[in-house]
A = this chain, B = another copy of it.
């Protein structure tokens, strides 16, 4: 019998008042103070049942964490600090208020790790699948945003962790690399950055296209996650293939003009366009992203 207003009351009771929040929740819009000189970074991401998660398999707490962490990882990609978020939930009729609460707790769990407040939202119920959308507001807080487009020929290409096989579970549980990104960006050597959501090959292509550059990766240098090895045994694709093409690792991929502490150099930026993989014997083969994109038909 619990209704939307009960849920809203419960959510409000969990909100903390901070200096950034000028007016507590309860109006049509949240009111935030924004520090002079802070750039405002804003992005949005949605997760859909059966596309980004499986409501039969994943708990609402897990789903909430994942969608918030995807947005927090977008903040990492640009080296900004998550400041606030707003959320919409389209609940499947029958899921009930306890399900909605668990979802919210998952969202809040993830956000609080970075002091990010959920300041508003909207909930509705329908007969179809669960949809959760998070809009994130980040602030530059003294560090110039890093974009995709700054890569320069001669830069090294770096990655912050082992890749591949996230489908075995890490795609639900990854930790956004916000602090790592800001630490690396503050060093002044990072020219381009992205978080790996479309796979190493796909996101490297994003960086290359945005910067008008090419890339050569060293086959032997790419850190391969144990999950990629495990998955390889089941599907007969090589661990390297998983590391190159699997999505949703959410490690950082960077182009920089000096070595980066805590990151592994996996290749070099080239002036000539195109992406190549250099094998142990020195030969190069073209690196083609397993073209991951949503078809709109």
Q: Give the number of times this chain occurs in the complex, counting copies.
A: 2
Q: Is A4 an interface residue (CB 8 A)?
A: yes
| B120 & A43 in contact (Cβ 8 Å cutoff) | yes
| B42 & A147 in contact (Cβ 8 Å cutoff) | no
| A2 & B127 in contact (Cβ 8 Å cutoff) | no
Give the interface size bracket for A toward B: 35 or more
Contact with B along A6-43 (1 / 0, CB 8 A): 11000000000000001100111111111011111111
Determine the chain B residues whose CB is within 8 A of the CB of A131 once the complex forms. Answer: 46, 90, 131
Closest to A44 in B: B86
Determine the chain B residues whose CB is within 8 A of the CB of A44 once the complex forms. Answer: 86-88, 120-122, 133, 135
Q: Is A282 an interface residue (CB 8 A)?
A: no
Determine the chain B residues whose CB is within 8 A of the CB of A94 once the complex forms. Answer: 297
Determine the chain B residues whose CB is within 8 A of the CB of A296 once the complex forms. Answer: 2-4, 6-7, 91, 95-97, 100, 123, 125
| A30 & B41 in contact (Cβ 8 Å cutoff) | yes
> Beyond the given A23-B147, A28-B148, A32-B41, could you list 12 further A-B residue pairs with CB under 8 A, ordered by the A residue number?
A1-B295, A3-B293, A26-B148, A29-B41, A29-B138, A31-B145, A44-B88, A48-B126, A50-B127, A97-B297, A125-B296, A126-B129
